[in-house]
Structure 1
Amino acid sequence: MPELVAPTVRLHAAWLAARDEWGPGLHEDGFGVGLSDDVHSPAGFAAWVTRLTDQADPTKPPESGRVRCTYRWIVEDDRVLGGIALRHELNDRLRQLGHIGYGVRPSARQRGLATWALGRMLVEARALGLERVLIVCEADNVASARTIERHGGELEGVQETELGPARRYWVRLQCLA
């Protein structure tokens, strides 16, 4: 049974295995990896996990240029299957990316994990007081579009972004408990 867990150093090896399956690059949506993050060394990984945890803490100001964000990893049997991030607000750059970003490692896809994780994060977004959230996916990512639509996503349109054409969906949260 999968669960959503806060980032933890306990899963360092499992997280690296997930990243290795994706291949090189920073494309793992939902993980919050930056260009300067050292996720390979234990100390670097611990510093990165601390940054992710601090980003959600309302008692700590976000780093310059960042917004408050809650990160969760999709984990089953100590295996990291994916990640999902809930940005508590949008700045100019994040209006292209949306409130929520997620990714599921290739070997764990087509199990409904993204749909399940998105449902959980929408409940968290509602608990934060958000009335609606913007979710963006690549224009040709049919699986992600279906995931968003299953949760009531209303297509605003397709827009060119720094990453290419993207579908923009709004999900209203008033019905969530």
Structure 2
Amino acid sequence: MPQLTLPDMRFHASFLAAVKEFTDVGGMDPKSLLAQEIEEYGDSWRDPAVFAAYVAGLLAARERPRREGWVPATTLWYVEGDTFLGRISIRHRLTPFLLERGGHIGYDIRPGARRRGHATAMLREALPLCRGLGIVRVLITCDTTNVASRKVIEAGGGEFEDERGGKLRYWIRTGL
């Protein structure tokens, strides 16, 4: 059964296969974190030392941001056995930009694992973790054209607030 877990080296091969799926399918938002990371790391992720440093950076971002101007974030991978299915990032607080367009949560499911309920399950599992971080309501946004993501957010309890700059904005109570 799939579960959320901390990033780990044991998923290296499967993570690389997932990145290949993402790049082969194309159509990623060039501003998305995944697209930026693929641009930054590219084939260098194949090197176990580079991948280990990447994993260490994800784990360290829970305490401090990885990049200048970013907020602390918890990144979890959704896996089944040793197979990487996707990831979810929980931003611990919102900057003005995140409040407008990015939200507390971002997620990706590898193309070969989509349309199986993984994103919905991953979001539901992440909400108690948000509550543990003291986040009473999480903001999640998606592009107005991203019907699949909209359905995931709504299935997770998202209450529509408005549309801003091509993004739909939803709030989900974490139970606090």
User: Residue type of the partner of 2:149?
Assistant: S
Counterpart position of 1:50: 56
Aligned to 2:21: 21
The runs of at least 4 aligned residues of structure 1 exceeding 6 Å deviation read none
Pick aligned residue for 1:116 from 106, 121, 124: 121
Shift of 1:152: 1.6
Shift of 1:45: 0.9
Aligned positions, number: 168
What TM-score, normalized to structure 1?
0.85
Distance in 2 between residues matched to 1:140 and 1:154, nearest whole Å: 18
- Return the offset for 1:36: 3.4
**Structure 1 CA distance for aligned equivalents of residues 130 and 53 of structure 2:** 26
Unaligned runs of 5+ residues in structure 1 are none
When the two chains are superposed, the root-mean-square deviation of aligned CA atoms in Å is 2.2
Instruction: Determine if contact 2:10/2:82 at 8 Å carries over to the other structure.
Output: no
Q: Which amino acid is 2:167 matched to? A: A
Pick aligned residue for 2:74 from 70, 95, 112 = 70
- My pick for the range that moved more, 23-32 or 106-115, is 23-32
Q: 1:154 aligns with which of 152, 159, 162?
A: 159
For structure 2, list consecutive stretches of 5 or more residues without a partner in the other structure: none
What displacement does 1:44 show? 1.2
Contact (CA 8 Å) 1:30, 1:102: kept in 2 or not?
A: no
AA of the residue aligned to 2:22: W
Higher helix share: 2
Structure 2 Cα separation of the partners of residues 27 and 39 of structure 1: 20
d(CA) in 2 for partners of 1:156 and 1:99?
15
TM-score by length of 2: 0.86
Secondary structure of the corresponding residue to residue 61 of structure 2: helix
User: Aligned runs of 1:1-177 on 2, under 5 Å?
Assistant: 1-23=1-23, 33=37, 35-37=39-41, 38-57=44-63, 61-63=64-66, 64-95=68-99, 96-160=101-165, 165-174=166-175
Q: What secondary structure, in the 3-state scheme, does the structure 1 residue paired with 2:127 have? A: helix
